[in-house]
Amino acid sequence: RKEVEQDPGPFNVPEGATVAFNCTYSNSASQSFFWYRQDCRKEPKLLMSVYSSGNEDGRFTAQLNRASQYISLLIRDSKLSDSATYLCVVKLGGGFKTIFGAGTRLFVKA
């Protein structure tokens, strides 16, 4: 079993739609959680950190469920520019070990 698992997609949604991605992690010692965005043939860029209480940044909402060991990303009112691959990233506590999910591809259509 992979340490961080994501549905690879692709998710094809129309502009204005709401879309949600889930990510599960296997190591209960995981301490920090992030969502990154990666455009085609570009480097990953930090989208947002994920906090236990949940957090929101504009149209993006991230949630963490430690008991079930999953994190989620909700995108409201999708834009064409949201088309990208979204990477779930989990950092284990204490050291430098960080696990990247393989990513979920999103296509937003006009």
Q: Which residues bind another protein (CB under 8 A)?
A: 2, 4, 8, 31-32, 34, 36, 42-46, 49, 87, 89, 91, 96-103
Instruction: Kindly give, in sequence order, each residue whose CB lies less than 8 Å from that of residue 42, ignoring residues fewer than 6 positions away.
Output: none
Minimum CB separation of residue 31 from another protein in Å reads 7
Nearest to 29 by CA among 97, 103, 87: 97
**Angle, alpha carbons 77-11-86 (nearest 5°):** 80
- Which of 17, 105 has the CB closer to another protein? 105
- Which of 18, 28 has the CB closer to another protein? 28
Place of tokens 């296997």: 26
Minimum CB separation of residue 110 from another protein in Å reads 27
